[in-house]
């Protein structure tokens, strides 16, 4: 719809310019009524819900309104001394207006309207946001010696009359806590309390309850970007970086879990009191998936793990003598679901960071491994839904060869079925190897 409106608008303005040049008229009733009709047509599309109104349409709507108002004034005003026609002026005005139309539609093209992924559960889902301050940790990214503060958001059944399992999510390297909102909503609609964490300075941006905005730390961003390039870091340096990232992530996740569990014990009549503290799952995308696997090694109250497209950083050991990275030799006994895109699947047997992820690793012989063929790394988040262009840019122009709704909805279904099986003892879980 966005592209169609852009094309129709540009064609209309081109037709007006050609008509003006052909008739040698800078003003005409045809031009006026065309622009008025364009504004009325857009408003009718909006009122008829053909165009789903979002703030991203604001600039374009204002442009159409200004043009329509200008032409209404021109129709009502009697022109006594018409300006001398200049073809070059008409051409320049047409080019300027064309550029203006494109610019005002950029927000819509970047974030086009889309349908929400299906929600299949019986519960109406509500949300809540909180900011937790960890009095035992100093914020390492600032010089003020502030305490580490973490922002979280809950998705849970609105009418929760019993207790439900707790699921803790960690976003990717540059992600945000809303990165997999469709997944959280689907899980909550089936009776789960999902809490997603913003890791300050690791997340693209995060906003606390008091309105404080924290954006991604440039040094951390550079570290991650360099780690994905050959030759920037030695193997030892790369290993140290991954362990540093895991430490911050798992500390955040563990702190949030402890805070929630403490609140659940103390406030039985609050939202927290609806959480089943004996059934806990963790999951995450990319670096968040790696942190989820790592955290499950550290705590004994985690009952199930979902890793979405991440290397097992916590399962690696670095040998300084041989300058090699190897996998640990400790069995993983917690139910684990690995969901992989093409981007990661092709690295399982070729990239050292993924040595522990290999299907042949006996320590993870009971893990479920699923490959979404044709999917890219961000296909397993909601980003391709609300900004396909941005997703393609972050994939360096490499488009996913999988339907974006099929990818996210199928993943949501698999994660739901896995947690139902592992935490609620409901049904069986036997996923296909490839989707």
For the chain, how far is it from start to end, CA to CA, in angstroms?
Answer: 29
Q: Which residues contact 140 (CB under 8 A, 6 or more apart)?
A: 148, 248
Cα 220-222-224 angle, rounded to 5 deg: 70
Element (H, E) at 40: helix 29-47
Cβ within 8 Å of residue 214, ≥6 positions away: 200, 201, 203, 205, 206, 207, 208
Backbone φ, ψ for residue 166 (5° rounding): -100, 130
Tens digit of pLDDT at every position of the chain (435 positions) = 778 887 888 888 788 777 777 777 666 778 888 888 888 988 888 888 787 778 788 898 899 999 888 888 888 876 655 556 677 777 888 888 889 988 998 888 888 777 889 999 999 999 999 999 999 999 999 877 889 999 999 999 998 778 999 999 999 999 999 999 999 999 999 999 999 999 999 999 999 998 999 999 999 999 999 998 888 999 999 999 999 999 999 999 999 999 999 998 887 667 888 899 999 999 999 999 999 999 999 999 999 999 999 999 999 999 999 999 999 989 999 999 999 999 999 999 888 889 999 999 999 999 999 999 999 999 999 999 988 888 888 887 788 999 999 999 999 999 999 999 999 999 899 999 999
Q: How far is CA 327 from the centre of its chain?
A: 30
Q: Which residues contact 241 (CB under 8 A, 6 or more apart)?
A: 223, 227, 233
Domains within the chain, CATH numbers bracketed: 2-110 (no CATH), 125-423 (3.40.50.1820)
Whether this model's pTM surpasses 0.75 = yes
| CA 255 remoteness from chain centre | 23
Burial class (CB in 10 A: 0-12, 13-18, 19+), 20: buried
Report DSSP letters for 343-366, one per residue.
Answer: HHHTTTTT-GGGGGG-TT-GGGTT
d(CA 218, CA 210): 24
- CA separation for the pair 32, 24 (Å, rounded): 15
CA dihedral 71, 73, 76, 78 (to 10 degrees): -100
8 Å CB contact between 344 and 309: yes
| DSSP three-state, residue 208 | coil
Structure tokens at 155: 């998705």
């Amino acid at each position: 719809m966005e592209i169609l409106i852009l094309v129709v608008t540009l064609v209309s303005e081109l037709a007006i310019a050609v008509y003006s040049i052909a008739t040698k008229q800078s003003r005409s009733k045809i031009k006026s009524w065309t622009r008025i009709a364009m504004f009325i047509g857009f408003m009718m599309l909006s009122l008829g819900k053909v165009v789903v109104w979002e703030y991203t349409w604001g600039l374009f709507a204002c442009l159409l309104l200004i043009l329509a108002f200008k032409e209404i004034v021109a129709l009502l005003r009697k022109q006594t001394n018409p300006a001398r026609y200049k073809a070059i002026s008409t051409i320049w005005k047409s080019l300027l207006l064309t550029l203006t139309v494109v610019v005002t539609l950029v927000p819509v093209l970047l974030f086009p309207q889309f349908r929400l992924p299906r929600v299949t559960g019986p519960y109406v889902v509500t949300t809540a946001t909180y900011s937790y301050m960890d009095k035992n940790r100093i914020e390492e990214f600032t010089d003020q010696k502030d305490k580490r503060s973490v922002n979280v958001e809950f998705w849970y059944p609105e009418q929760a009359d019993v207790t439900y399992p707790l699921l803790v999510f960690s976003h990717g390297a540059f992600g945000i806590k809303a990165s997999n909102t469709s997944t959280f909503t689907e899980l909550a609609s089936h009776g789960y309390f999902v809490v997603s964490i913003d890791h300050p300075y690791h997340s693209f941006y995060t906003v606390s309850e008091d309105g404080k905005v924290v954006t991604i730390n440039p040094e951390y961003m550079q570290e991650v970007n360099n780690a994905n390039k050959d030759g920037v870091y030695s193997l030892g340096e790369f290993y140290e970086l991954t362990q540093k990232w895991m430490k911050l992530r798992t500390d955040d996740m563990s702190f949030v879990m402890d805070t929630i569990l403490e609140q659940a014990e103390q406030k039985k009549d609050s939202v927290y009191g609806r959480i089943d503290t004996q059934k806990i799952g963790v999951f995450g995308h990319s670096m968040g998936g790696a942190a989820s696997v790592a955290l499950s090694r550290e705590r004994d109250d985690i009952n199930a793990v979902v890793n979405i497209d991440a290397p097992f950083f916590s399962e690696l050991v670095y040998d300084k003598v041989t300058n090699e990275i190897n996998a640990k030799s400790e069995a993983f006994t917690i139910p684990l679901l690995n969901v992989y895109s093409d981007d990661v699947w092709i690295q399982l047997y070729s990239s050292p960071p993924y040595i522990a992820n290999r299907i042949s690793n006996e320590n993870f012989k009971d893990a479920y491994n699923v490959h979404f063929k044709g999917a890219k790394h961000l296909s397993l988040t909601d980003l391709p839904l609300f900004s396909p262009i941005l997703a393609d840019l972050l994939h360096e122009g490499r488009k996913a060869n999988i339907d974006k709704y099929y990818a996210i909805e199928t993943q949501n279904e698999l994660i739901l079925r896995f947690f139902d099986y592992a935490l609620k003892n409901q049904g069986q879980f036997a996923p296909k190897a490839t989707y």
